[in-house]
Amino acid sequence: MKIKAIAFLVLLLAVWAGTPQTLSGGEAYIFASDIIKSLDSFYRGEKHIYEKYQEGKTYAKIEEIEHDINIYRKGLANAILLVKPYLNHKIQSIRFTAQKITSSYQQGLNLFDLVSDQMLKKPNEVKFITILDYENALKEIATNVTVTIMALIERNMLSKNQINALKDQLIKTFGETIKVEPKEKTLNSVLAAHGFWWALTKE
């Protein structure tokens, strides 16, 4: 069965602060920063796969496959580790968000394990185009799907400097496709136009 990845992983990340007595601006900022680091770890693993695909990479040795698989898996595993400390957070909304993010990463890891298993069983048939069909996926997704990283921050929960620092870090991580725009009167949202697309369809 041909395995082809042409779909997407859309992460909707929400940081919702309650009252200043329950969650400080600094704490909300640290949480948001850890999520950014987590996404960056995930992205590094995915970027490695994408670059190999762009090069038209094929494999002659099992060891080469294992090397690339481990780079991708390490990116996902590190992403999970960055979010895990929040799974038992005292603030319910942060706890729930961390659970959702961790679940998404774990699903991605499980799916990639299925792909890597096929890679190791049939190394002579492996080309990255059979795993991540980015060229077609990007053409389809760019017109109708936006990967959204949304930080919902109650007014006065973060200082203007903290919000600007968060914006700067996002732009540094994801590039100029990031836009920070007001959402309603009291919220700031961060929209990423490019990012983390991958899931599997089997034919």
pLDDT of 73-126, one tens digit each?
787 788 788 888 888 888 777 777 777 777 767 766 766 666 667 666 666 655
Q: How confident is the model at residue 3 (pLDDT cuts 50, 70, 90)?
A: very low
Q: 91 in the Ramachandran plot: left (φ > 0), alpha (ψ -120 to 50) or beta?
A: beta
Residue 157 burial (CB count, 10 A)? 24
Distances (CA, A) of 158 to 38, 130, 152, 155: 21, 45, 11, 7
| Whether the predicted pLDDT of 58 surpasses 50 | yes
Q: Is the pLDDT of residue 23 over 60?
A: no
Average pLDDT over residues 132-139: 40
What span, in angstroms and rounded, lies between the C-alpha atoms of 18 and 144?
33
Lowest mean pLDDT among 99-103, 131-135, 155-159: 131-135
